Amino acid sequence: MAVLYRGVMVGLVGVAFGFQLNAFAQNTPAQTWPDPVPNRQAAAVKDKKPAPRRSLAGLWGSRLGNQAKGTQLRPNDGSPASELPYTPLGRQMYQAHKALEGEDAVPPAGTNDPRVTCEPLGFPRYNHYDLGARIYQDEHSVSILYNYDNRWRIIWTDGRSVPTLVDGGVEIDGQYRESRWMGYSVGKWLDDYTLEVQTVGTLPEERVWLDNTGRPISDRARITETFRRLDADTLEWSETLDDPKMYTQPWQTMKIPMILQDPRTDVLTRYCSPYEIEAYNKAYGDGASGK
């Protein structure tokens, strides 16, 4: 059964929908709507199969669930090790963001997170949310279908060049193109098991956040991802952010092991729905209502 996701409820009551990590055994009979059997990972440890060449295809999940504390490698927890190299503008933007989560979290009535009004998360925030994805590919591209909000992006692998960043967008073959929610992604295989992806042309800082804790990101960002297929059942997904407008130096945001799932799994559908938000506020009240 599809479940509509109430975007504000994560901040209000801390509800997190964990991704189902366990999957089916090799001898599981075909079913119409299969439930994963919790022994695939144990079997994989005993008998790991080699990764297929130049293939990321599959349904992938992580153990992180909703990444409430921000980016995986640099959580917003107040520790010196997690402090980011903000530019003056970057720090100003961070302080202007009123997040429901992280070290400087505010009460629900005080938030200005675009997520709460059901704006798309944008890229790369989808990587720093409830990360689970289904990946398809052909000879021209890799398609990533994110579980949350049923969003998708295209990574071109057909040899085209990375667009050139210009004010307000990118330049492709001498023509201007607008900024996009998911930016423009181009990948190249470094070897048979490693795909490197460059993304530029994301939305400006007043439209999107980097993570749930309000870290900023701008349209000058260049995001580098590495997808490394370790074996048949494991994919290492890493990301580095280079945004000279917000940060004085590049920094690594995540390095997450993704586990292959049963491809027949009917994944829970989660949307941010304005109708559901309104219904929730009518039934229970919101932070500003005083109810």
How confident is residue 35, by pLDDT bands cut at 50, 70 and 90?
low
CA-CA distance, 234 to 108, in Å (whole number)?
37
The pLDDT of residue 34 is 54
The pLDDT of residue 6 is 38
Give the containing element (helix H, strand E) for 199: strand 194-200
The pLDDT of residue 36 is 47
Residue ranges in 196-262 assigned as alpha helix (H): none
With a cut of 80, say whether residue 17 has pLDDT above it: no
Which whole-number Å values give the CA distances from 37 to 17, 65, 258, in the listed order?
A: 19, 20, 18
Paired sense of beta strands 194-200 and 152-156, if any: unpaired
- State mean pLDDT over 210-236: 97
With a cut of 50, say whether residue 3 has pLDDT above it: no
How confident is residue 267, by pLDDT bands cut at 50, 70 and 90?
confident
Give 215 or 15, the one with higher predicted confidence: 215
pTM: 0.82
CA-CA distance, 235 to 198, in Å (whole number)?
18
With a cut of 90, say whether residue 276 has pLDDT above it: no
| CA 24, chain centre distance (Å) | 25
CA-CA distance, 5 to 147, in Å (whole number)?
12
Residue-wise pLDDT for 112-132, tens only, equals: 999 999 999 999 999 999 899
Q: Which of 180, 216, 215 is nearest to 200 (CA)?
A: 180
> Which residues does residue 33 pair with via DSSP β-bridges, in sequence order?
none
CA-CA distance, 242 to 245, in Å (whole number)?
9
Residue-wise pLDDT for 47-89, tens only, equals: 789 999 999 999 999 988 778 899 999 999 999 999 999 999 9
Mean model confidence pLDDT for the chain: 85
The pLDDT of residue 28 is 45
How confident is residue 33, by pLDDT bands cut at 50, 70 and 90?
low
Give the containing element (helix H, strand E) for 177: strand 175-178
Residues in the chain: 291
Q: Are 232 and 201 in contact (CB under 8 A)?
A: no
- State mean pLDDT over 242-247: 98
Q: Are 177 and 170 in contact (CB under 8 A)?
A: yes
3-state secondary structure of 284: helix
Q: What is the dihedral of CA 126, 128, 131, 135, to 10 degrees?
A: 50
Angle in degrees, CA 150, 153, 158, rounded to 5: 150
Give yes or no for a cis peptide into 124 (omega within 30° of 0).
Answer: yes
- State mean pLDDT over 139-162: 96
- Report which DSSP code applies to 248: S
CA-CA distance, 250 to 277, in Å (whole number)?
37
With a cut of 80, say whether residue 172 has pLDDT above it: yes
Question: Residue 119: CB partners within 8 Å, gap ≥ 6?
Answer: 207, 208
Burial class (CB in 10 A: 0-12, 13-18, 19+), 158: exposed
